[in-house]
Amino acid sequence: MDSIIFDLDGTLWDPVDTVLAAWNNVLEKHRMRKLSRKGLEETMGLQMEEISRKLFPDLKNTQRQRLVEECSLVENKFLEQRGGRLYESVERVLKELSQKYKLYIVSNCQDGYIEAFYKYHKLEKYFEDYENPGRTGLSKGENIKLIMERNHLSSPVYVGDTTGDLQAARLAGIPFVYAKYGFGQVREYEEAIDGFEDLLKRFL
């Protein structure tokens, strides 16, 4: 094992309260029904197009696209200013892991989202590279493969919390580590962690 690739939401942090505030700010402006935390949690791990169909099924495609683009821009600004809730010991664990492994992020998010995470929480120094469909238009599995190719990784693992993360790791042909404390329910994995600190027990 030479590297660890992380999912973001439900793995490194819980951004839901900040994201909810951002989206409801936009929806209120358009006099639309506000979202609940539970409703937003159910979209964690999905790409933006899937999220828009799930949250706004009654809107036409063009309306959905414009609304989600607006929400995403406001979301990035909110996250830059407020951040999210980092899971316990994230920075300490990343610091220790980064001394032995190269670390990366691959998330199903819009362009600017990972940058907002870095900007508020000051964690960019622990990661070598990152990717998302907002930049590439690719699926999570394809973005993992892109990170592997770009950084010449031979034996990474992927840490995530949803079935989509499992499927992405399978597509990339690498082991999956299930973050049981996140948003999803996954039954198949090579390793599982109950908290972020467990990565130190598994890999150091």
Report, as ranges of residue numbers, the positions in the chain whose pLDDT lies below 50. Answer: none
**139 and 39 in a common domain:** no
Q: Domain holding 57: CATH number?
A: 1.10.150
The Cα 139–Cα 85 span in angstroms is: 26
Q: Measured in Å, how far apart are the chain's first and last C-alpha atoms?
A: 11
The Cα 178–Cα 194 span in angstroms is: 9
CB atoms near residue 38 (< 10 Å): 8
User: What is 28-71 written as a DSSP string?
Assistant: HHTT-PPPPHHHHHTTTT--HHHHHHHH-TTS-HHHHHHHHHHH
Retrieve residue 136's tokens: 């590439």
**129 and 118 in a common domain:** yes
What is the predicted pLDDT for the residue at 44?
A: 86
What is the pTM for the complete model shown? 0.95
What is the predicted pLDDT for the residue at 71?
A: 96
Domain span at residue 186 reads: 3-14+84-203
What is the predicted pLDDT for the residue at 48?
A: 85
Phi and psi based region of residue 201 (left: phi greater than 0; alpha: psi -120 to 50; beta: remaining): alpha
* Mode of pairing for the β-strands spanning 129-131 and 156-160: unpaired
What is the predicted pLDDT for the residue at 46?
A: 85
**171 and 109 in a common domain:** yes
